[in-house]
Amino acid sequence: MKFRTPLGKVRGLGAAHTGTDVFWIQRLTSIASIPLTFFLVGSSLYLIGADYEVARAYISSVFVAPALVLVVIIFLWHMCIGMEEIIVDYVHSPTVKFASLIFNIMFTVFLGLTGVYAILKISFGT
């Protein structure tokens, strides 16, 4: 058994039925990001010079708040996969690699939760 190659072990077991999910999600989030990017740029233009109450009212609007939550979630999901891709491409030392992979997930999840929390707090009042 000790001398069996990895290929020999999996031969005959059939397809893994997994493995393309990351590729698929990266495409899915990229397509979703197209209208969201236009929305983000448009919102930024609208909010130029806006005072505090105007910004608050805009963000808490029923059309804007859910779209902003989507921006945060979709962008960060896409970012998380993208950065993971970069890390596994360039970081070869196992210690640094796994530390970076862990940091990547924690950073994106933390940022995402913070963003969603901020939008909800603005929407539902203090």
Residue bearing tokens 């209208």: 35
Nearest to 57 by CA among 49, 67, 65, 45: 65
Site string for other proteins, 86-125 (x = CB under 8 A): x-----x-x----------------x--xx-xxx-xx---
With contact defined as beta carbons under 8 Å apart, do 115 and 77 qualify?
no
With contact defined as beta carbons under 8 Å apart, do 59 and 119 qualify?
yes
User: What minimum distance in Å lies between the beta carbon of 68 and other proteins?
Assistant: 8
| 14 vs 45, beta carbon nearer other proteins | 45
Q: Which of residues 49-88 bind other proteins (CB under 8 A)?
A: 49-50, 52, 55-56, 59, 68, 71-72, 75-76, 79, 82-83, 86
Query: Which DSSP category does 16 fall into?
Result: -
| 11 vs 46, beta carbon nearer other proteins | 46
Written as six digits, the tokens of 10 are 């999996």
User: Binding residue for other proteins (CB under 8 A) from 19, 45, 62, 63?
Assistant: 45
With contact defined as beta carbons under 8 Å apart, do 105 and 81 qualify?
no
With contact defined as beta carbons under 8 Å apart, do 102 and 109 qualify?
no
Q: Which residues bind other proteins (CB under 8 A)?
A: 27, 30-31, 33-34, 37, 40-41, 45, 48-50, 52, 55-56, 59, 68, 71-72, 75-76, 79, 82-83, 86, 92, 94, 111, 114-115, 117-119, 121-122
